[in-house]
């Protein structure tokens, strides 16, 4: 992917920022809710049939084990600390705890200094909240604890890859905000336990713990679209497209205000989307509840000369069979894997002793072999950059730790995807003078051969070359190209084009059934529901 260099500031929420500029990224559920129940009022607690209960917590000395070779607690026996009581656990009986009035949540508790406590409440969703019918809505609990908080819901501390805040500590006096119910039904019950902490922990403060606010917000269906509006149009060139794209399909905008979105991948474990903004040097995390956060800052480069790069950050993202995120890092000119314990493993950064150009997109075969494209578009001066060490743009294969060059016919190999049977591999070409998708044969050992043109868009109007590439379970090919998203049959027939308000750069299949196509498109994030599920990691 080759892009004009941009400078801008991306701000997420109240306490996170990305370097340089003036745009603001926002997602759904950032606006006002349709209804709010104040859990710091008697009326609000009565409406939800709740009762606040309170107890101090303390730190106790316990037995544990130190870190072993696996970096888990599997080493030598040690002494450490734990919290008691543990009311977050399911079926915990808090009947003996102090019952406190909702209007006293701001009373100072916790005995000062480094101290801890618990607040608990069980609530029931009513038939109506004022004039609002909560049926089908999303319920979001928000609490602000002076100073820090963690939030348990129905005996669980919700944790997910890349989480910032939500159920866990977010920051000094910061709101903890998390979804507690989806597709709400009146009569549903939810148990909420808030663990309060007095801080800063390392400074032994003289203040106490208290709740600044606690609310349950209800949101109906949210979208950037106005009623009846779609952010895309479909040009149907063949009746076969109707089996892929519903006639009433709507392109939804999910978030906006980025510099340049790229490299999306759906996390099946946790059910959220990760995507890159290589210009902002960041990976973002978006959830179906509309929450948007920075998953990884400085995602591709931390060098002194970062200002010289137009796209220093990460680009392509995917997961391996063990659910580990694999990242193409432009500025660092390498492919890395983020282990479950947070360690970064470098998978590939050199070939024949020379540094890679700037790995762009990537895909795993089912046998764990990794393939990636390596054009120079992440380098400040692209093909003419003095940092460039390889004389070609390659398609590489990483198998059992060995890196091999599989192809170098294309000047700008970019998107990459397998056929459903993995006997073929598609690679798109970012070259304004040669807008083609190549297909390679894949041997049982994973080597590539027989390169040929699968589809040629060179004569299509528009300056845009080819970027992201994906394949569905029926073998249809989806390619970023001039004017939008081109959908091609397995035989290379152009079935139709989806023109989105912003030109898509890349795509990912998401949601439980894999039939939602998420599109990273310039400054926004979009999606469309299709009839066919896609191939995904």
Q: Give tens-digit pLDDT for 36-48.
A: 999 999 999 999 9
Where are the extended beta strands (E) located within 400-483? 402-407, 413-418, 424-429, 436-442, 448-456, 469-471, 477-481
Q: Is 448 exposed, middle or buried (0-12, 13-18, 19+ CB in 10 A)?
A: buried
At 296, give phi and psi (nearest 5°).
-150, 115
Q: What is the pLDDT of residue 29?
A: 66
Q: What is the pLDDT of residue 159?
A: 67
> Residue 4: which pLDDT band, with cuts at 50, 70 and 90?
very low
Nearest CA-CA partner of 25 in 410, 226, 310, 282: 282
In CATH, 11-28+224-529 is 3.40.50.970? no
The answer for 325, left when phi > 0, alpha when psi is -120 to 50, beta otherwise, is: beta
Between strands 516-521 and 506-510, the pairing is antiparallel
Q: Give tens-digit pLDDT for 457-487.
A: 999 998 889 999 999 999 999 999 999 999 9
Q: Give tens-digit pLDDT for 284-336.
A: 999 888 888 889 999 999 999 999 999 999 999 999 999 999 999 999 999 99
The answer for 49, left when phi > 0, alpha when psi is -120 to 50, beta otherwise, is: left
Q: What is the pLDDT of residue 18?
A: 36
Task: Give CA 437 to chain center in angstroms.
Answer: 28
Q: What is the pLDDT of residue 6?
A: 31
11-28+224-529 and 35-219, same CATH topology: no
* Averaged pLDDT for residues 426-452: 97
Q: Domain segments of the chain: what residues?
A: 11-28+224-529, 35-219
Structural class in CATH, domain 35-219: mainly beta
The answer for 221, left when phi > 0, alpha when psi is -120 to 50, beta otherwise, is: beta
Q: What is the pLDDT of residue 90?
A: 63
Q: How far is CA 470 from CA 291, 325, 382, 437, 507, in A?
A: 26, 18, 25, 12, 7
> Residue 374: which pLDDT band, with cuts at 50, 70 and 90?
very high
Q: What is the pLDDT of residue 54?
A: 97
Q: What is the pLDDT of residue 162?
A: 55
* Averaged pLDDT for residues 220-230: 88
């Amino acid at each position: 992917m080759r892009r004009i260099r941009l400078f801008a500031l991306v701000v997420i929420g109240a306490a996170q920022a990305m370097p340089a500029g003036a745009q603001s990224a926002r997602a759904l559920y950032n606006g006002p809710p349709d209804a709010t129940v104040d859990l710091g009022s008697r009326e609000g607690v009565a409406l939800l049939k709740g009762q606040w209960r309170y107890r101090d917590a303390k730190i106790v000395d316990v037995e544990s084990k130190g870190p072993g070779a696996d970096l888990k607690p599997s080493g030598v026996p040690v002494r450490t600390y734990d919290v008691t009581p543990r009311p977050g656990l399911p079926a915990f009986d808090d009947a003996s705890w102090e019952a406190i009035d909702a209007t006293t949540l701001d009373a100072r508790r916790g005995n000062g200094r480094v101290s801890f406590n618990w607040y608990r409440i069980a609530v029931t969703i009513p038939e109506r909240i004022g004039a609002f019918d909560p049926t089908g809505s999303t319920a979001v609990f928000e609490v602000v604890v002076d100073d820090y908080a963690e939030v348990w819901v129905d005996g669980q501390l919700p944790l997910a890859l890349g989480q910032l805040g939500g159920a866990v500590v977010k920051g000094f006096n910061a709101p903890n905000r998390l979804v507690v119910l989806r597709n709400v039904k009146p009569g549903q019950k939810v148990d909420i336990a808030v663990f309060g902490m007095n801080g800063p922990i390392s400074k032994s403060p003289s203040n106490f713990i208290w709740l600044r606010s606690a609310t349950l917000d209800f949101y109906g269906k949210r979208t950037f679209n106005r009623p009846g509006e779609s952010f895309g149009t479909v040009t149907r060139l063949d009746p076969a497209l109707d089996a892929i794209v519903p006639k009433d399909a709507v392109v939804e905008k999910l978030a906006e205000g980025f510099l340049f979105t790229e490299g999306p991948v759906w996390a099946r474990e946790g059910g959220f989307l990760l995507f890159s903004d290589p210009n902002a040097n960041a990976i973002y995390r978006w959830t179906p509840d509309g929450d948007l956060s920075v998953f990884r800052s400085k995602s591709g480069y931390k060098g002194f000369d970062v200002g010289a790069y137009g796209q220093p950050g990460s680009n392509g993202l995917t997961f391996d069979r063990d659910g580990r995120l694999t990242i193409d890092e432009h500025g660092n000119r390498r492919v890395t894997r983020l282990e479950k314990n947070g360690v970064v493993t470098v998978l590939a950064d050199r070939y024949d002793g020379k540094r890679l150009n700037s790995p762009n997109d990537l895909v795993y075969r089912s046998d764990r072999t990794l393939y990636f494209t390596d054009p120079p578009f992440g380098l400040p001066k692209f093909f003419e950059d003095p940092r460039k060490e390889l004389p070609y743009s390659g398609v590489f294969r990483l198998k059992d730790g060995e890196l091999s060059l599989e192809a170098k016919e294309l000047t700008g190999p970019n998107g990459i995807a397998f056929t459903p049977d993995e006997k073929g591999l598609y690679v798109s070409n970012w070259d304004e003078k040669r807008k083609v998708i190549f297909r390679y044969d894949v041997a049982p050992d994973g080597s590539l051969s027989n390169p040929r043109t699968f589809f040629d868009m060179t004569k299509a109007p528009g300056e845009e070359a080819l970027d992201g590439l994906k394949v569905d379970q029926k073998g249809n090919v989806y390619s970023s190209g001039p004017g939008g998203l081109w959908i091609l049959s397995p035989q290379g027939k152009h079935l139709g084009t989806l023109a989105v308000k912003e030109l898509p750069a890349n795509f990912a299949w998401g949601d439980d059934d894999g039939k939602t196509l998420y599109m990273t498109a310039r400054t926004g994030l979009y999606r469309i529901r299709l009839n066919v599920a896609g191939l995904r990691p």
